[in-house]
Structure 1
Amino acid sequence: MILSRIIHHLKTQNWTAVGLEFVIVIAGVVIGFQVTAWNQAREGEARGQAYLERIQSDLAVDIASYDDRIAFWSAVSDHGVQALEASNDPDRISGTQADWALIVAFFQASQVSEFNAVQTTYTEITSAGELGLIANLNVRERLSVYYTLTENFTMTERPAYRVTVRGIIPVRLQLYIWENCWDSDFYGRQFLIACDPPADSGEIMRTANVLAGNTELHNQLRYWISTLQVLQTMGRDRRGEAGDIREAIAADRGAEL
């Protein structure tokens, strides 16, 4: 339609009309580009907001996991301290209950609970090259640092103590502890449970004496207790940062947590 009009105006040498037709065409193209760019910007902003909402959920899972791990690492450390104190007590009283408590303390002190951040959404954003959709530069940089620092060997360490002590305690007693003194749930949370000793008091006494007298085992346990303290400190720091980032995202989105 427009093309036919331009041809007609050219034939009649109506240059003013030709110029107006060209202006109309160019204006239409420019407006079309602007509308397309505006729609793309709106779609990008919507995707960015959806990413942030999902990251908020991921961070909430991380916070709950940190709370669980910090409490668990503290409980494991307490068992380690209890085992060392009982072993180094010159007046330690040997008996089925006391010896069993010593064995359980040494065993539970070998427990580990690794932490791995939920990175599904952040990995998806970076893999798609869409990190720029998170417009808030402060939030974007803090997320980058947060997810970089979560990859730390200490958070997944399995100490030499774990191997040593489980190589000393008889298998039958270990299986009894797993069955009666420990539990876990679908979410990977672990629970250390007080339990009565099995029937064989002779095996309990022999094992307790070996554990109480093993200096190298005690040295490895001291190292592990120290590491557990570092884990708790790191966990609290990172849990705090995850909470702060969630609040920053909520403020940026104008949404409540």
Structure 2
Amino acid sequence: MKHVRDQNWTAVGLDFVIVVVGVFVGIQVSNWNDQHFTAREAIDSRVRLISDLQNDRDVLAVRRKFYQEVKDAAKRIEHILEADFPETTEAQWQLIRDTENAGLIWAFKPSAQVYDELLNSGKLRLVSDTEILRQMRDYYQDAALEAAMSFQVDTPYRNKSRRLISGPLIEYQHHACNIVVGADPSNVKVEEQLYFPPCPAPALETEILETAQRIHAEEELLGDLRLVLRHTEGVLSFIEYLDDEAETLITKLEAD
């Protein structure tokens, strides 16, 4: 009888050990699966963030070229407003075109869809360490606010210059001069692209002459233009800053 009881206790002990080991193994497998999933999710999140940042850099390259052309147009106007009235129709037409183009703005803000998704789901901490998370916050939140102000300023020059240019000439520019604003950056060859390409003068010599005379005679325009020049130089510096930040984040995320 004692032998039977010993066997029963042995069986119970073995069953208990099997159950405990099974539970332990199950927990370990579950933990491993969770860790494996978390690691995969972190890698996927970093890849998506890097893709967003690289797209931002592509867009910034386009904006850099665009705002350099805006600055060049403003410098040409400054030179003409400080000199005598241009004699030829071609020079008058170039003044009109530059007057319009120097007031153009092409807005930008960082592409934050993936960042916002991770932030709202509480999974941003999976991506990297505290230092990189701080840099990401600066780039996506602080820089986005500053970008909204830098790229969307409605200046006195912009408002005034539009009133000086006659309607038929504005309409002609918009339909015939192929200004490239709003283009997909993946379809733009940045080095060769001209955002304000050469555009022949329309057969509206009287309109051109009278409009150019209004522009050249506007006393306050030169001061407003110089504010535009300073603002444009600030935008170009801000573009460089954002591009450097995006490049640094890409490098650090790729290294993790």
User: Is TM-score (shorter-chain normalized) higher than 0.5?
Assistant: yes
Tell me the equivalent position of 2:161.
165
**Conservation of the 8 A alpha-carbon contact between 1:52 and 1:134:** yes
Tell me the equivalent position of 1:69.
63
Give the superposition deviation at 1:15: 5.1
The answer to which structure, 1 or 2, has the higher relative contact order (CA under 8 A, 6+ apart) is 2
Tell me the equivalent position of 1:187.
184
**Conservation of the 8 A alpha-carbon contact between 1:94 and 1:205:** no
Q: Check if 1:138 corresponds to 2:135.
A: no
User: Counterpart of 2:245 in structure 1: which amino acid?
Assistant: E
Match of 1:217 among 215, 221, 238: 221
Tell me the equivalent position of 1:85.
79
Give the superposition deviation at 1:70: 1.0
Normalising to structure 2: TM-score of the pair?
0.85
Give the superposition deviation at 1:219: 2.3
Q: 1: distance between equivalents of 2:132 and 2:67? A: 30
Paired residues, what number? 241
Tell me the equivalent position of 1:246.
250
- Tell me the alpha carbon deviations over residues 176-200 of structure 1, each in whole angstroms, 9 at most, x when there is no partner: 1122323336417782111221112
**Conservation of the 8 A alpha-carbon contact between 1:119 and 1:147:** yes
Give the superposition deviation at 1:56: 1.2
**Conservation of the 8 A alpha-carbon contact between 2:85 and 2:216:** no
User: Counterpart of 1:119 in structure 2: which amino acid?
Assistant: A
**Conservation of the 8 A alpha-carbon contact between 2:64 and 2:239:** yes
Gaps of 5+ in 1: 1-10, 253-257
Q: 1: distance between equivalents of 2:100 and 2:128? A: 50
Q: 2: distance between equivalents of 1:133 and 1:44? A: 8
Tell me the equivalent position of 2:95.
102
Q: Check if 1:155 corresponds to 2:159.
A: no
- Tell me the alpha carbon deviations over residues 9-53 of structure 1, each in whole angstroms, 9 at most, x when there is no partner: xx9485565455434323322221121111011101101101111
Q: 1: distance between equivalents of 2:86 and 2:130? A: 62
Q: 2: distance between equivalents of 1:115 and 1:157? A: 12
Identity between Structure 1 and Structure 2 (%): 27
Tell me the equivalent position of 2:107.
114
Q: 2: distance between equivalents of 1:79 and 1:167? A: 18
Tell me the equivalent position of 1:174.
170
Give the superposition deviation at 1:102: 1.1
Q: 2: distance between equivalents of 1:74 and 1:81? A: 11
User: Counterpart of 2:69 in structure 1: which amino acid?
Assistant: A
Normalising to structure 1: TM-score of the pair?
0.85
Q: 1: distance between equivalents of 2:55 and 2:139? A: 14
Tell me the equivalent position of 2:212.
208
Give the superposition deviation at 1:205: 1.3
User: Counterpart of 2:26 in structure 1: which amino acid?
Assistant: G
User: Counterpart of 1:77 in structure 2: which amino acid?
Assistant: K
- Tell me the alpha carbon deviations over residues 76-121 of structure 1, each in whole angstroms, 9 at most, x when there is no partner: 01111111210111x3433312211111111110111111221121
CA RMSD of aligned residues (A): 2.2
Q: Secondary structure at the match of 2:220?
A: helix
**Conservation of the 8 A alpha-carbon contact between 1:125 and 1:131:** yes
Q: 2: distance between equivalents of 1:135 and 1:201? A: 63
